Structure 1
Amino acid sequence: MPYAGDSRARYRRILRFAARHLVQTWWFELFLPRIGLGRIGARNREVRLQRTARRFHALAVELGGLMIKVGQFMSSRLDVLPPAITRELEGLQDEVPAVPFAEIRALAEAELGAPLDRVFAEIDPVPVAAASLGQAHRARLAPPAADDIGFDAVVMKVQRPGIDEIVDVDLAALRKVGGWLSRVRLISDRVDMPQLVEEFALTSLEEIDYLHEAANAERFAANFAGDARVSTPEIVWERTSRRVLTLADVTAIKITDVDALRGAGIEPHDVATRFAAVMFDQLFAHGYFHADPHPGNIFVTPVGTDADGATDWRLTFIDFGMMGEVSSSIRTGLRQALIAVAARDGKRLVEAIQEVGVLLPSADTAELERAMTQLFARFGGMGFAELRDVDPREFRDFAVEFGDVVRSLPFQLPENFLLIVRAMSLVSGVCSSLEPSFNLWDSVEPYAGQLVRDEGRHLVRGFAQEAVAVVGTAWRLPQRIDGFLTRAEVGGVKIDTPRLDRRVASLERLARRILSAVLFAGLLIAGALLRVEDAVFGTVLMSVSALPLLHALFSGLLDRPGSPRR
């Protein structure tokens, strides 16, 4: 078993591996360049990094536990690890051997409080999936429970025995390594390593609590209730505990099985497009997303045919142990970043990056704004699909210049931001597997366009609310003046001057003109924005806006000296 041995020995082994390769990195990447021997360190850098990644791969497979999760977690971070390492770690899967079924049975019976033969009509001792934290077995519910629930085909997910202790040891080792890295200024200026480790720890502890995962699944399902694009497995709460999770068996076509998709009459390109859109909705609309959308966790489920005879299908998500939440501030920043990209607005994109919290408040963004403006000037006139036809050397030259600017700026990883990037990296990989020529940005652009239209509608709504408030104030202004004069008279202060009367009348006319001007502006802006969605209605609003404009103009003429008085 990969978990045999003393916990202290495991802890020391992880630290020895980390210390050895941190010292190696310090020597080649920091010390040698400082004494003018940087060429020696650069000479075999690619080979050295690949060797380090392969050694970590082997260590992770042997130890299991969180080491595999660490590799998967970090493989999507090009700003944390060099590409030579991330390429090696991208292939790291849960390659640990399965736990003997006798041990799984003992743990499951202890958790459920009954023999499995009474809980299930049958159970397959061969796991359908074996992972570093747990493994899953297909089963059928016993008739009474199956009749009550409405289905009998289920999957029983059980934690690996002793995983709690293993996770504790691994987290202790990772916290120690994070402390070491936090003392390296080159790293501490870029990444808050202790915070990063704690974020990973929180995610890992939640992932081994199956009650938490079941609640995540129901929350995710509620977000997509009524959405025909997405489905989730139903939880069998009566057969679920902290270490055992039982849910409906929803196994279907693996999302990256192109041959099976085409055999079912489903176009892989359509699957990629829908998958990207669904993930965008999770990030930008719900603020709650599946943080581990690798191919093993998403199925394509055929559900009949539509009116045209084409296969109707939906995306079925499973495994909700690793979920992420997007705070309102980060979500707003990400939305603004997408809108800025769609609008080719470099300054607004930098502001959005700051709002997300990636750049520290002290960062001097003038050079970054210049680089973003140059980016849009050189490539902004093209659609995202057209960018693939640009000479790679042009991209490379710009990437060098742009990279120098980015590296000069202090940045940090906001809470949960690592999960966001991981999720989108996996989405890009899945979409590319479905169609090699698929470009994720081809889906980003129309989604950003929709955000622009939504922002326009929000602007109209906000302006309308402000207009109503101003109109209400203007409408009540004459009555308030009259009320003031009445109170003044009642209070014994008699004001009776022709000059004051003229001032009051002038204020009343001014209030009417303000009202007309506000109505004109509101109708004109609303019409202009809504013409994108409804040309007829937008034109009508713009035409009607002429009426309050005429009133504002002509009432102003009547107020001039020498004009007829009423």
Structure 2
Amino acid sequence: MPQGDAPRAAAASRARYRRIVRFATGVMLATWWFEVVLPRIGFARVAERGRTARLRRISARFRVLAIDLGGLMIKVGQFLSSRLDVLPPEVTSELEQLQDEVPAVPFAEIKALAESELGVPLHRAYAWFDETPVAAASLGQAHRAQLSDDDESIAGFREVVVKVQRPGIDEVVEVDLAALRTIADRLSRVGFVARRVDVPALVEEFAATSREEIDYLHEGVNAERFGELFSDGVRVAAPTVVWERTTPRVLTLSDVTAIKLNDVDGLRAAGIDPAEVAQTFAEVMFEQLFGAGFFHADPHPGNVFVTPHAPDAAGRTWTLTFIDFGMMGHVPPELRAGLRRIVIAVAARDGKGLVAGIQQIGVLLPSADTTELERALTELFARFGGLGFGELQDVDPREFQAFADEFGEAMRELPVQLPENFLLITRAVSLTSGVCSALDPGFNVWHAVEPFAQRLLREESRGALTDAAKSVFSYAKTIVGLPVRIDQVAARIDRGELAVDTPEIGRRLDRLENLLRLVIAAIVFAAMVVGGALLWGAVPWLAATLVVASVVPLGFALSGLARRSGRRGGRPVHRVRRTTAQR
């Protein structure tokens, strides 16, 4: 950096930091005045009457600020727009208009950074490089290019897209994070905020995600892992990383540009049904979230293409192609178990089960009173549970608003905490839902969830059956061994190695042995019936086989009981006989 530029850069950073903190402080003071002071001095109606307009005005001001500053502020606005649980709709609806599109960096600056990173002139690194960016975002921008002949022979393709970081974005990110930490620290000192959400922890998770997003080597690794897990060439595809032309600030990928996910007219022109795309997109995202536990956390329409192709072996004529793997989420096993429980509860319209799942993943503190939330969710499922997004348009807006307000109040009154990566999960789910409803106004999220929930339920049933079978065989192994032990005891008595004082011991041992055989038959019968019941919805043929075969152990048990009822004999009476040592 030339002498004299450093002081100017430092001054610009300080000015940026102060601008962000000043805006946030003004919002906090305004909120304190209207929501705390005025109600206490008898002007609650005044505060209530102007709340909607005030919130919209503040949100619009922040949107202008974010567009002007760029950097992480746009990411912050996008994140806040998905927080329907803690922010009123007046705020989220305004911030939804915030797109990750900013003015492009002059090509001379992009060229200088790329050449510095790659270590060679741009015309040697690529056979052709388009000076006009395909897209310009807050953290970087993308250009089309062509690989050199040597690189093409290695990669197997020529057309690529090159992502180049915005010059100086590292410093901008650190300044923004410092400002956000200051704001979080101030908010954590406000009682009603601290009781409901751990703001500093939220900022730290956001910071970790942001740092990963500006490391293009990390994004390249994510792209390869995503391709290995999900790219089957039938439903899902991913670009190939050109590692020879990739550094922490430059990422070169195969060009997979196609029809944008939300381009309904383009899809129809290509003979592709948007409703089918919506259904497949939802299924693919659910599988990432609740199956593999590794998911694309930023699946907005600019990051997913629909790629037409000739009919493949499965008869499919298009593939979902994901790009931009800077923001990926990981779901730990314990969190995945809770999310699976939530999916099953949603499919079953089970409000109480849904709250239990929310508690299991750790969003609600153990001390939280969830009575009102359970009631709100139960009523929500009862009224809207079977409706698609298109049908919701026919519902009286006042009725829907009443339910939304009730649910929002129930959530905002509860003490919440955010498990690791949970923010990314909520973002992915909200984006998926919005994209699918835009593609298909009649999209019904219940129909998308139910098949996946049924699969999860089958997996849970198989797990429960396996556990039950292990327990049954463990008990059965012990019980099966008892008759042998009984015979051993009787033999020792016959040899005079044990002293017995009752002539009834033989008959009792005989009865016990037969009774144990009947118990074994009963256990096997019960295990087969229970197993059949668990598998009835998942594997009907196997379930039917188990139920029919259970007749065999049942018949043995019943015939044994019949023999016992008519039986009169027993073992010969074993008289007392002392061993030599006893004499």
Same fold (TM over 0.5): yes
**1:333 matched to which residue of 2?**
338
Q: Aligned runs of 1:284-299 on 2, under 5 Å?
A: 284-299=290-305
Q: Deviation per CA, 1:509-548, whole angstroms, max 9, x where unpaired?
A: 3432232122112211222343334544432321111211
**2:518 matched to which residue of 1?**
513
The match for 1:494 among 474, 498, 512 is 498
The match for 1:460 among 456, 465, 481 is 465
Between structure 1 and structure 2, the one with the greater Rg is 2
CA distance in 1, matches of 2:378, 2:130: 59
The match for 2:122 among 109, 116, 122 is 116
**2:4 matched to which residue of 1?**
none
CA distance in 2, matches of 1:404, 1:543: 53
The alpha carbon displacement at 1:201 in A equals 0.1
**1:432 matched to which residue of 2?**
437
**1:552 matched to which residue of 2?**
557
CA distance in 2, matches of 1:424, 1:95: 22
The match for 1:313 among 310, 318, 328 is 318
The match for 1:91 among 76, 79, 97 is 97
**1:132 matched to which residue of 2?**
138
1:292–1:323 contact (8 Å) kept in structure 2: yes
**1:354 matched to which residue of 2?**
359
The alpha carbon displacement at 1:449 in A equals 2.9
SS at match of 1:509: helix
The match for 1:266 among 265, 269, 272 is 272
1:302–1:311 contact (8 Å) kept in structure 2: no
The alpha carbon displacement at 1:495 in A equals 4.6
CA distance in 1, matches of 2:277, 2:290: 20
CA distance in 2, matches of 1:80, 1:409: 10
CA distance in 2, matches of 1:445, 1:127: 42
CA distance in 2, matches of 1:555, 1:444: 49
2:492–2:498 contact (8 Å) kept in structure 1: no
Single out whichever of 259-268 and 333-342 deviates more from structure 2: 333-342
Identity %: 58
The alpha carbon displacement at 1:563 in A equals 4.6
CA distance in 1, matches of 2:147, 2:262: 30
CA distance in 2, matches of 1:503, 1:371: 61
**1:52 matched to which residue of 2?**
58
The alpha carbon displacement at 1:401 in A equals 4.6
Specify whether residues 127 and 385 from structure 1 end up closer, same or farther in structure 2 by C-alpha distance, changes over 3 A only.
closer
The alpha carbon displacement at 1:41 in A equals 1.4
CA distance in 2, matches of 1:316, 1:445: 24
The match for 2:253 among 236, 247, 252 is 247
Single out whichever of 278-287 and 547-556 deviates more from structure 2: 547-556
Specify whether residues 489 and 282 from structure 1 end up closer, same or farther in structure 2 by C-alpha distance, changes over 3 A only.
farther
SS at match of 2:272: coil
Structure 1 length as normaliser, TM-score?
A: 0.92
Specify whether residues 377 and 59 from structure 1 end up closer, same or farther in structure 2 by C-alpha distance, changes over 3 A only.
closer
The alpha carbon displacement at 1:288 in A equals 1.1
The match for 2:415 among 405, 410, 414 is 410
SS at match of 1:304: coil
2:245–2:251 contact (8 Å) kept in structure 1: yes
The count of corresponding residues between Structure 1 and Structure 2 is 563
Q: Which amino acid aligns with 1:494?
A: L
1:3–1:63 contact (8 Å) kept in structure 2: no
The match for 1:283 among 282, 289, 293 is 289
CA distance in 1, matches of 2:517, 2:47: 77
Q: Which amino acid aligns with 2:326?
A: G
The alpha carbon displacement at 1:112 in A equals 1.4
Specify whether residues 154 and 29 from structure 1 end up closer, same or farther in structure 2 by C-alpha distance, changes over 3 A only.
same
CA distance in 2, matches of 1:488, 1:164: 87
CA distance in 1, matches of 2:412, 2:68: 36
2:35–2:47 contact (8 Å) kept in structure 1: yes
SS at match of 1:456: helix
The match for 1:165 among 168, 171, 174 is 171
Q: Which amino acid aligns with 2:517?
A: R
Q: Does 1:78 align with 2:84?
A: yes
CA distance in 2, matches of 1:270, 1:218: 27
SS at match of 1:293: coil
The match for 2:188 among 179, 182, 186 is 182
Single out whichever of 456-465 and 163-172 deviates more from structure 2: 456-465
Q: Does 1:9 align with 2:15?
A: yes
The alpha carbon displacement at 1:66 in A equals 0.8
Q: Aligned runs of 1:149-228 on 2, under 5 Å?
A: 149-226=155-232, 228=234
The match for 1:25 among 16, 25, 31 is 31
CA distance in 1, matches of 2:275, 2:402: 32
1:120–1:141 contact (8 Å) kept in structure 2: yes
SS at match of 1:305: coil
SS at match of 1:324: strand
CA distance in 1, matches of 2:9, 2:562: 90
The alpha carbon displacement at 1:470 in A equals 2.5
Root mean square deviation of aligned Cα: 2.8
The alpha carbon displacement at 1:208 in A equals 0.5
CA distance in 2, matches of 1:166, 1:158: 16
Specify whether residues 54 and 247 from structure 1 end up closer, same or farther in structure 2 by C-alpha distance, changes over 3 A only.
same
Q: Does 1:540 align with 2:545?
A: yes
**1:148 matched to which residue of 2?**
154
SS at match of 2:85: coil
The alpha carbon displacement at 1:395 in A equals 4.1
Q: Deviation per CA, 1:87-106, whole angstroms, max 9, x where unpaired?
A: 12111123322112221122
**2:574 matched to which residue of 1?**
none
Q: Which amino acid aligns with 1:333?
A: G
Q: Which amino acid aligns with 1:450?
A: R
CA distance in 1, matches of 2:271, 2:217: 37
Q: Which amino acid aligns with 2:178?
A: A
Structure 2 unmatched runs, 5+: 1-7, 572-583
Q: Which amino acid aligns with 1:544?
A: A
**2:576 matched to which residue of 1?**
none
The alpha carbon displacement at 1:58 in A equals 1.5
The alpha carbon displacement at 1:153 in A equals 0.8
Specify whether residues 514 and 376 from structure 1 end up closer, same or farther in structure 2 by C-alpha distance, changes over 3 A only.
farther
CA distance in 1, matches of 2:34, 2:443: 38
1:15–1:173 contact (8 Å) kept in structure 2: yes
CA distance in 2, matches of 1:468, 1:141: 62
Specify whether residues 180 and 280 from structure 1 end up closer, same or farther in structure 2 by C-alpha distance, changes over 3 A only.
same
Q: Deviation per CA, 1:463-499, whole angstroms, max 9, x where unpaired?
A: 2232232222222333455668889999x96355655
SS at match of 1:347: helix
Specify whether residues 387 and 500 from structure 1 end up closer, same or farther in structure 2 by C-alpha distance, changes over 3 A only.
farther
2:387–2:444 contact (8 Å) kept in structure 1: no
Q: Which amino acid aligns with 1:130?
A: A
Structure 1 unmatched runs, 5+: none
SS at match of 2:234: coil
Structure 2 length as normaliser, TM-score?
A: 0.89
The alpha carbon displacement at 1:354 in A equals 1.0
CA distance in 2, matches of 1:441, 1:383: 8
